[in-house]
Structure 1
Amino acid sequence: MTGTPNKTILDEADAAGKWFHAKKMRPIWAKKLVLAQTVKTLEGEEQVEAGHFLCRGEAGDIWPQTEDDLNRRYTATHEIDAEGWQKYQPELNAKGVMATQIDHPFSIESSWGRLSGKAGDFLLKNFEDRDTAYPADVWIVDQILFGRTYTAIQ
């Protein structure tokens, strides 16, 4: 598949051989969007459809997620804050992600739009895509946030 927009960075990541298995270990907050909107994340502006969720990490970082992905990765709690954000805990049986740290600024095309990472940020893909050269779903996590919220799995 040579038509993938992320071929160069994925080929580089594969050649480096530093992908590792990780799981998110910290809770998030999420809220369902009633209207479509553009959301500013740490990695760029993303177009989010009505019915999808906005997720907020413990550092206040925001990102979109589909309802299916949210429910596959997290379990809703009964805790809801004053602004309507519901707390979600990482799903204990979730398979996690494959991650690799990129040592230079980079950008990718995601289903949400163009995302940019800084030197040291992490490129992630679903664990199920560990053997897929050019997965459809890849994203970027800031290196500080990755260190605070993910744990490497042996």
Structure 2
Amino acid sequence: MKAWQHLQREPGSAVADPDVLQVINACAPRPSPTLMRINGRVVIAYSRTRAFIDRDAWEALPSDGLLLLRVWPRGTSSSWFALTRPELERTFDEVRKTRSWNSVRHYHFRVFPAALEAFRVCMTRDEAPFASQISAAEAGSESEKRGSPVSPSH
């Protein structure tokens, strides 16, 4: 099984980060990755209708940067996910070995990756990151501001 198919027990380090909430409240991300700076930190944000990792965004992300992905399936509400570069590499490194990564410079998940749930942004103080999924896993079930565009680094 790939790392992204496993439910993680600990929430991502940026899910309640005030910088993340500030960006989310100030930007309307596009499908193409957009680079911005907030409090000296590079943030790259984009929006897709399904879980999607963009190679240009990944490669432009510095070691202390944040990737913000809004997943907004048609006809439903959106969710935000925030990952640091180390979290992205640790959780989704396998996508860099796929044909689509090398040919079309992205990877989209046909099924929502269980590991991404750990990086869902808490929009209010009352939101406990993925608490219901942790309970299900413990019960034995396995489930599966505006910025500049990010350009290819090649």
> TM exceeds 0.5?
no
Structure possessing the higher relative contact order (Cα contacts under 8 Å, 6 or more residues apart): 2
Greater strand percent: which structure? 1
TM-score, normalised by the number of residues in structure 2: 0.27
TM-score, normalised by the number of residues in structure 1: 0.27
Greater helix percent: which structure? 2
